[in-house]
Structure 1
Amino acid sequence: MSGITLSAGVRQNLLSLQNTADLMSTTQKRLATGKEVNSALDNPTNFFTASSLQARSNDLNSLMDSMSNGIKTLEAADNGLTAITKTLESMQSTLRQARQDKSFSTQSFDVNDKSVLSLSGGKQVDIANLSLSDSPNGKKATVTSSAAYTGPAVAASTSAATAGAGARAVINYHDDLGGSTISIDGNDITIGAFTDATDDAASADEAIADIQAGLVSAGLDSQYTVSRDTTTNAIIIESATTGKDSVAADVNLGDVTGTGAGATAASATYAFSDIQAATDVTGGGQTINANNDIDAFTSQLQEAMGDSVVVSNDGTNVTISTVATGSTALASQVQLNGPDGNEITAVSAAADGVDGATVSTMDAAVDEFSVTYGNATANITVAGGASTADTLASINSQLQAAGLTGVEASFDDDGNLSIAAKDPASKALSITGPDASAIFGSTTTDTGAAATNSEKAVDRFVEVINSEYKGQLRASNDNGKLRIENLSTQDLSVSVDKAGDGNKTTSTIGGNTVRADLANQFNELRDQLDKLADDASFNGINLLRGDSLKITFNETGTSDIDIQTKGGKSINADTLKLSDIEAKTLDSDETIDSLLGTVKDAVNTIRSQSSAFGSNLSVVQNRQDFTKNMMNTLQTGADKLVLADTNEEAANMLALQTRQQLSSTALSMASQADQAALRLF
């Protein structure tokens, strides 16, 4: 208070007491909070540094929950993989049990040397009329052509009416070809003006000469030959390649006046009811039966008229559209001549009665048939124009390529083609296909007989069955009877014509029920595998379903890990290539071995994924430990900057309390001195 005057001694003691009180207040606050620095006013540097360290520690602490959840998610996935591994091991055990099981059903039959057996079912068994050959040496199945065979009929180079040895592009001659430019396989070829356009044959020969020169210039002369049809003067461009792989030249008549610029689209529409009553179309062609099916008629007419037209229908009317060639209108190509019957004749763009130059293509002449021996089939194509040796080599090469190593083709001295088994065997050889009957006549199937060493009929049947149908059936002599063992889970039907007189007795040999039951068990385990994978989730994340788990390791998000199955694929039966199996799948030991290999691969895949997840788990756990240690370091560092030494602060408080008492005493004494001076007055 400004009105009070203190002596120097009192004031000095008062200031000392006030300072002590301030120090005591600070010390008491430190003891209460445990911190030496409680605000930026205490120590700005330490306060803000400690705050930064503590904030980072808190940020890292917020990531610990994510890491813990990640670890649990990985543990859930590992639980699933462990269970799946056990399931796969059970599947392996099931297959091994099936592999070891030999409880196949058998039945015995009375047979003699005249008996005929027919068997079907079981392990893809299809045996018709199995009998013993009159000769112990057996019989080779053989099918021979009905006449000398020289390959498919090939048209002469001077005829465009039928197919040639190579694929053909046929240009229907027109005098507009003179002075035009055409394109063959993308190469422009100029045809000079004709000397005498009224002489079609001579003009066609001039065009051929120009085309040949153009092919030489383009380097195509070895690929194509060019000739003239002596009847129609059509120009024939034939590929040097023969057979089914032969491709016709790509000919474009874009610059020919009769087909190029200026041509306009033409179309005509006919009521299908009129077509059904029509007779023919002007020009040559082929007859098509209209019947009552407009779609079938449309398809057949389109095929007959070729690519130069488009045939369509709206359910009631048939529309035929084309590009008019020169002065020729569509009406001159298609014309209905009054009701009379159910037939209509179509003419193609290259047929008689159509003006203008046109191009048509024709596949190479080939013969096609299929050879089946046992369970294997080869599709044979014979090219035209080949020598006998080349034809033979081609057929045998195709047989070998298709896996029919037990069959070969040959020609006899009369030129007849034979397809025959190399060795005697109780197998059927049959020839089918488009040209089978034309080449081989009505006899296109023959069955061989295996060679035998035994004298008794039963033993001979045993030899035949065990040699020809090994793996499908097993035969043995059961006290003079033929015992047949069905090596399958499927029923086997056996018909026995004991006397060979057509009187058959049919029996059924049941399938292996043990293997069939094991197949069902395998499928149940497979289903459980998928269910285990579906249930291995934690907090909505299932790594086994291909879900992705991202765990962040630092407060800035620059360090993290993405955890997922390899390729992001779900782990289930399908991705492990484990399919449901049928009972007959376990018929063959070889098939079971293959399945065991597949299951083993699946086990290896699961183990590999377990290893990958284990590595991921180690990374997360290491980061978790690192983060804990880092948080401890940050908190310790922050504490050292702001925490107080309580022992030191307690000692300071005691000293300050002593000082306060002394200061109070000194202040009291100073006041008493002032009072003593006042008594003098």
Structure 2
Amino acid sequence: MPDIVLSSAVRDNLLSLKKTAAFQETTQNRLATGLKVNSALDNPNSYFTAQSLNDRAGDLSNLLDNMGQAVQTLRAADDGITSITKLVESAKAIANQALQTSSEYERRQFAVQYNAILEQIEDMAKDSGYKGKNLLAGAGNELEVIFNEDSTSNLTVNPVDFTDTTLDTGLNLDDLATGASGTSSFNMYGGSAQLTLTGLQASSNLTDLAAFADNNHVMVTDGSTTTTLTVGVDIVTVQDYVDALDDLSGVHASFDETTDSITLVTGLNSNITVTKDANGGGSTSDGGITAGATTLTATALSSTATLITSGGFKAGDTITITDGNGFEPASLEIDEETTVDDLVKLINNVKGLDATFSGGSISLIGEVSFDITSDNADFNRMRLASTSGTVALGATASEFKTDTDIERVLQAINASLDELRNSARSLGTALSTVEIRTDFTQNIINTLEVGAGDLTIADMNEEGANMLALQTRQQLSSTALSLANQAEQSVLSLFG
């Protein structure tokens, strides 16, 4: 069969339609993808240039993620420093409060609170990490932030260590010694007896009695120590005799002119014996006019016994409790009805001091040092040779005991606040730098992507107009092809 021959007009119209279809396909592809350069075949120069720009933008985007995480790490550390600073300021407030009181017990309690604050500081520093990186936890937590693709632009943030407040390179705040308790005790004994001096008054001479003569010796002994009083030398009158006996440690003496007798009350924890010899005349006696010896038997007081039944106490005495700083938390004025139990209750009302009474002894436990004293010189004298009546309880002092101790701690706190502020400034500078570089990188990425888009992204308005023009061209070509065919058909009409 011979080839079909198309006229020139038909062929030209067919070619025009094919070109229009090809242009439509290209335009449709651009409209569908939004790109005018989809491959290197479309435009090698634009394609590879855009790809290079997009590749760099992608690399920077990866770095941007790391920068964002670095910002959070820095913010976590900054939050930690801010909170630690508040805790250190609380510790400073505690030290200042301790400075405003002289009570050793209260200062010890402030020392305990201070140590608790330091423990919270360490815990907070340990909790200030982000994704395993903690800029407040010392060596091994260095933060390196990379800003460009080849790592030539970077920032290294060195950590500090606040997880141990005692470090000299950190806060340099040591835990305070809070001291240790101490113990003590004192006995509560009593005994009494009378020396009869019939017919005498306080102003009478002892030698007015037949039993007494000058140079007689009155001996008072507790079994280990003997005090000798010589009649006519040490004691002349009855009042001299009373005063001399009253001056003995732990012994109270008084004269009753109604009964003509000297009453002796002892607080010693051993028996006292009184005798008089007949040296130079008179006769041996019990210290009075009665033959034999006078014995004051020491007996443990009960909790309900009145204090004045012991030679260490008299009505009107004041018992005072002071701590190691000289602070006076309590005192008690004794009257005729004040009992041992009242004294124990007084002691127990003092913070940091506990007392128990048993078997004639008051046992003490003190969290700080305490002294119990009395304006009565016979208080707490256990032997005739006693040199001190103070009940002393020694405890190990806390490091907040003295003003000097507290001021030393305040100096350390002020230095630690300076360290915190310096660290906060350093972290703030690093944070600001990373945030600025983050913004810069975001802008660079945007610039790169816009530049790549300028090379490859299609103009939708232009492509839409192109598609409309191509559709018009296609319609016109189809019409022209139809007209060309009609011209050929008119020839066939000649063959009617």
Given the two structures, how large is their TM-score scaled by the length of structure 1? 0.39
- Per-residue deviation at 1:619? 0.7
Q: Secondary structure at the match of 1:555?
A: coil
Q: What SS does the aligned partner of 2:27 have?
A: helix
Query: Shift of the alpha carbon at 1:30?
Result: 0.9
Q: Distance in 2 between matches of 1:21 and 1:586?
A: 96
Alignment-derived partner of residue 69 in structure 1: 69
The CA deviation string for residues 615-670 of structure 1, in whole angstroms up to 9 with x for no partner, is 00001100110111111101111111111111111111111111101101101111
1:556 aligns with 2:370: no
Q: Determine whether 1:639 maps to 2:453.
A: yes
Q: CA deviation at 1:97?
A: 1.1
Offset at residue 15 of structure 1 (A): 0.9
Match of 1:619 among 433, 441, 444: 433
Q: 1:538 is matched with which residue?
A: 130
Deviations, residues 289-342 of structure 1 (Å, cap 9, x unaligned): xxxxxxxxxxxxxxxxxxxxxxxxxxxxxxxxxxxxxxxxxxxxxxxxxxxxxx
Q: Deviations over 1:424-454 (max 9, x none)?
A: xxxxxxxxxxxxxxxxxxxxxxxxxxxxxxx
CA distance in structure 2 between the aligned counterparts of 1:651 and 1:638, rounded to whole angstroms: 24
Is 1:594 aligned to residue 408 of structure 2? yes
Residue matched to 1:579: 174
Superposition map of 1:240-389 within 5 A? none
Alpha carbons 2:88, 2:413 under 8 Å: kept: yes
Q: In structure 2, what is the equivalent of residue 516 of structure 1?
A: 108
C-alpha deviation, 1:41, in angstroms: 1.1
Residue matched to 1:565: 159
Distance between the aligned counterparts of 1:663 and 1:543, measured in 2?
75
Bigger Cα Rg: 2
Quick one: distance in 2 between partners of 1:3 and 1:564? 87
Distance 1:82 1:2, change over 3 A: farther
Match of 1:653 in 2: 467
Q: Is the 8 A contact 2:87 2:117 kept in 1?
A: yes
Equivalent residue number for residue 502 of structure 1 = none
Matched, 1:50 2:50: yes
Q: Distance in 2 between matches of 1:680 and 1:615?
A: 98
Structure 1 residue 570: Cα displacement: 4.8
Equivalent-residue separation in structure 1 for 2:79 and 2:39 (angstroms): 52
Rounded to whole Å, the distance in 2 between the matches of 1:647 and 1:582 is 82
Is contact 1:34-1:644 (8 Å) kept? yes
Kindly provide the amino acid, as one letter, of the partner of residue 421 in structure 2: R
| Counterpart code for 2:147 | F
Q: Give the secondary structure class of the aligned counterpart of 2:136.
A: helix
What's 2:423 paired with?
609
Structure 1 contact 545–570 (Cα < 8 Å) conserved: yes
Unaligned runs of 5+ in 1: 104-511
Contact in 1 for aligned 2:126/2:163 (Cα 8 Å):
no
- The verdict on how the C-alpha distance between 1:19 and 1:2 changes in structure 2, with shifts beyond 3 A counting, is farther
Contact residue 98 and residue 518 of structure 1 kept, 8 A: yes
- Deviation for aligned residue 1:2: 8.9
Indicate if the aligned counterparts of 1:565 and 1:609 stay in contact, CA closer than 8 A.
no
1:35 is aligned to 35
Separation in structure 2 between the aligned mates of residue 676 and residue 2 of structure 1, nearest angstrom: 23
> 2 CA distance for matches of 1:678 and 1:554?
78
Residue 561 of structure 1 aligns to a residue in which SS?
strand
Give runs of aligned pairs for residues 416-435 of structure 1, distance below 5 A: none
What is the one-letter code of the residue matched to 2:402? S
Kept in 2, the 8 Å contact 1:31–1:649? The answer is: yes
Deviations 1:236-261 (A, max 9, x none): xxxxxxxxxxxxxxxxxxxxxxxxxx
Distance 2:405 2:10 in 1: 113
Going from structure 1 to structure 2, the CA distance change for 1:560 and 1:2 (only over 3 Å counts) comes to farther
Cα deviation for residue 675 of structure 1 reads 2.1
For 1:177-227, what per-residue CA distance to the aligned partner results, in whole angstroms no more than 9, with x for missing partners? xxxxxxxxxxxxxxxxxxxxxxxxxxxxxxxxxxxxxxxxxxxxxxxxxxx
CA contact (8 A) 2:122 2:162 kept: no
The one-letter code sitting in structure 1 at the alignment partner of 2:79 is: N
In structure 2, the residue matched to 1:12 is 12
The letter of the residue matching 2:126 is D
> Which amino acid in structure 2 is aligned with residue 598 of structure 1?
A
Q: Does 1:527 align with 2:122?
A: no
Q: CA deviation at 1:44?
A: 0.8
- C-alpha contact (below 8 Å) 2:78/2:424 kept by paired residues: yes
AA partner of residue 410 (structure 2):
L
Structure 1 Cα separation of the partners of residues 39 and 80 of structure 2? 54
* 1-structure distance, mates of 2:163, 2:142: 13
1:564 counterpart letter in structure 2:
N
Alpha-carbon separation, structure 2, partners of 1:3 and 1:532: 94
Q: How does 1:147-296 map to 2 (within 5 A)?
A: none
Q: Residues 558-601 of structure 1: CA distance to partner in whole angstroms, max 9, x if unpaired?
A: 222111225xx455301222111124322221221121011110
Matched with 1:204 is: none
Cα distance change on mapping 1:93 and 1:544 into 2, 3 Å = same
Counterparts of 1:607 and 1:39 in 2: how far apart (Å)? 57
Q: 2: distance between equivalents of 1:657 and 1:609?
A: 70
CA distance in 1, matches of 2:71, 2:4: 76
Do the aligned residues in 2 keep the contact of 1:27 with 1:653 (CA within 8 Å)? Answer: yes
Which consecutive aligned stretches of 4+ in structure 1 deviate over 6 angstroms post-superposition? Answer: none
User: Whole-Å Cα distance in 2 between the matches of residues 3 and 614 of structure 1?
Assistant: 87
User: 2:130 aligns to what SS in structure 1?
Assistant: coil
Separation (CA, whole Å) in 2 of partners of 1:8 and 1:52: 49
Q: 1:2 to 1:73 in 2, by over 3 A?
A: farther
| Distance of 1:4 and 1:537 partners within structure 2 | 85
Q: Deviations over 1:464-512 (max 9, x none)?
A: xxxxxxxxxxxxxxxxxxxxxxxxxxxxxxxxxxxxxxxxxxxxxxxx2
Distance 2:459 2:100 in 1: 80
What is the CA–CA distance in structure 1 between the aligned matches of 2:118 and 2:20, rounded to whole Å? 85
Q: Partners in 1 of 2:2 and 2:150 — Cα distance?
A: 60
- Say if 1:513 and 1:102 are closer, same or farther in 2 by CA, change over 3 A: same
Alignment of 1:92-111 (within 5 A): 92-103=92-103
Partner of 2:79: 79
Amino acid of the structure 1 residue aligned with 2:175: D
- Percent identical among aligned pairs is 46
Measured at CA, do residues 2 and 647 of structure 1 come closer, stay the same or move farther in structure 2, by a change above 3 Å?
Answer: farther
What is residue 24 of structure 1 aligned with on the other side?
A: 24
Pairwise CA RMSD of aligned residues? Answer: 1.6
| Aligned 8 A contact 1:57 1:634 in 2 | yes
| Partner in structure 2 of residue 236 of structure 1 | none
What do the CA deviations read for 1:11-58 (whole angstroms, capped 9, x no partner)?
A: 111111111111111111111111111111111111111111111111
Unaligned runs of 5+ in 2: 179-396
Task: Report the alpha carbon displacement of residue 528 of structure 1 after superposing the two structures with TM.
Answer: 1.1
